[in-house]
């Protein structure tokens, strides 16, 4: 009897120690808004989601393996809370497992590509809602690569976080397609990002390439971004270039933005310019918005945006969950959102 009690005590002690060394967190964002978009004499209005931050549900956890080594996981899925996500929950936003230590982090699975981070970090609207800067995927349907935002089957290495503000990432993602007649493997991705963020200054550069199915059809990304927090105002700039060998398509994009604390909230504004090589089909976008913090986790927001097209271009105001009409060639498009975001 004593031996049984001792065994049970030892088992309970072991379970308690294992529990103390591990942690799992449930987290998420629920963001909903009323939106109105119009272009080419047409308009649409209704409920949308992710106007300020992408609605999501996720789980993440870390286990201490001893000797400074840790294992971790992160699974995260999109929520379309304006319609209850009728298609069911998936984990397409991120699904990774990691090994971390003094050497940095090795991460495996579906994750953001390095070249996407500059696009969203240095956009006052974070590539969300009607104010987002319409990037990435600037080239359009004919040249849109698979890995413009996230990559499946990826292997990443991150530098350790104790380098005085310097950071770096390198990623390779397998397209997992068979060799075709030209010896190409479509959708393999390679990219990297390096930068510095400490105190008020943040600056990063990134490069990435997705292989095309045939010779000369690779898609290449290059971008740079910077911001400086003066306390009373945080200006930010970014440059993005996308090139696709199919048709020798290239777009250069500039963004200048600002975030200004105002009372219990913040003003956000951005101006973007998109130049399509060897074409008059360019476009520009202006967006302005204000968010009022009801608490640390809840914000009410309002955003207005306008797209001006040149030549035969038909870019519209992008949003989430609401079909946006396309303008006539060279026409304009406008949109606004009024919403609330809660994080947990």
pLDDT number for residue 22:
78
pLDDT number for residue 184:
62
pLDDT number for residue 98:
98
Residues 236, 208 contacting (CB under 8 angstroms): no
CA distance 34 to 83: 13
In the chain the domains, ranked by start, together with CATH numbers, are 40-343 (2.40.160.10)
Which residue has better confidence, 260 or 325?
260
CA distance 236 to 256: 6
- Bridge partner residues of 29 (DSSP): 56, 343
Residues 293, 264 contacting (CB under 8 angstroms): yes
Residues 191, 206 contacting (CB under 8 angstroms): yes
pLDDT number for residue 2:
45
User: Considering the chain, what is the average pLDDT of its residues?
Assistant: 88
Residues 212, 219 contacting (CB under 8 angstroms): yes
pLDDT at 238 over 50: yes
Residues 287, 125 contacting (CB under 8 angstroms): yes
- Bridge partner residues of 342 (DSSP): 30, 298
CA distance 79 to 91: 10
pLDDT at 131 over 80: yes
Backbone angles phi, psi at 281, to 5 degrees: -85, 60
Average pLDDT over residues 145-162: 89
pLDDT at 95 over 70: yes
Residues 124, 141 contacting (CB under 8 angstroms): no
The backbone region for 88, taken as left when phi is positive above 0, alpha when psi lies in -120 to 50, beta otherwise, is: left
Average pLDDT over residues 184-212: 93
Residues 210, 147 contacting (CB under 8 angstroms): yes
Residue 304, Cβ neighbours under 10 Å: how many? 17
pLDDT at 135 over 80: no
pLDDT at 7 over 60: no
Which residue has better confidence, 213 or 286?
286
pLDDT number for residue 59:
97
Instruction: Name the token pair of 1.
Output: 């009897």
pLDDT at 5 over 60: no
What Rg, from alpha-carbon coordinates, does the chain have?
Answer: 23
Q: How confident is the model at residue 10 (pLDDT cuts 50, 70, 90)?
A: very low
Least confidently predicted of 55-59, 105-109, 209-213, 266-270:
209-213
């Amino acid at each position: 009897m004593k031996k049984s009690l001792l065994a049970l005590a030892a088992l309970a002690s072991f379970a308690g120690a294992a529990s103390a060394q591990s942690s799992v967190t449930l987290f998420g964002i629920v963001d909903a808004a009323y939106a109105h978009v119009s272009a080419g004499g047409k308009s649409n209005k209704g409920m949308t989601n992710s106007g300020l931050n992408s609605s999501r549900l996720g789980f993440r956890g870390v286990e201490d393996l001893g000797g400074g080594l840790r294992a971790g996981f992160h699974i995260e899925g999109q929520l379309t809370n304006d319609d209850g996500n009728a298609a069911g929950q998936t984990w397409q936003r991120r699904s990774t497992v990691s090994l971390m230590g003094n050497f940095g982090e090795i991460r495996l699975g579906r994750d953001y590509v390095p070249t996407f981070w500059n696009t969203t970090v240095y956009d006052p609207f974070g590539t969300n809602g009607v104010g987002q800067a319409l990037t990435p995927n600037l080239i359009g349907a004919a040249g849109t690569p698979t890995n413009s935002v996230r990559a499946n089957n990826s292997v990443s290495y991150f530098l350790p976080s104790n380098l005085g503000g310097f950071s770096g990432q390198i990623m390779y993602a397998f397209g997992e397609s068979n060799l075709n007649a030209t010896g190409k493997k479509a959708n393999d991705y390679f990219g990297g990002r390096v930068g510095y963020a400490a105190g008020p200054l943040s600056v990063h550069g990134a490069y990435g390439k997705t292989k095309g199915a045939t010779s000369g059809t690779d898609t290449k990304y290059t971008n740079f971004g910077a911001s400086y927090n003066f306390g009373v105002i945080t200006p930010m700039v970014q440059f993005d270039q996308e090139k696709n060998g199919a048709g020798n398509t290239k777009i250069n994009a500039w963004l200048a933005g600002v975030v200004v604390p105002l009372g219990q909230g913040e003003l956000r504004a951005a101006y973007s310019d998109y130049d399509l090589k060897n074409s008059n089909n360019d476009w520009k976008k202006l967006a302005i918005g204000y968010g009022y913090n009801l608490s640390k986790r809840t914000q009410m927001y309002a955003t207005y945006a306008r797209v001006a097209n040149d030549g035969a271009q038909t870019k519209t105001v992008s949003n989430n969950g609401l079909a946006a009409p396309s303008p006539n060639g060279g026409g304009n498009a406008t949109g606004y959102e009024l919403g609330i975001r809660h994080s947990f």
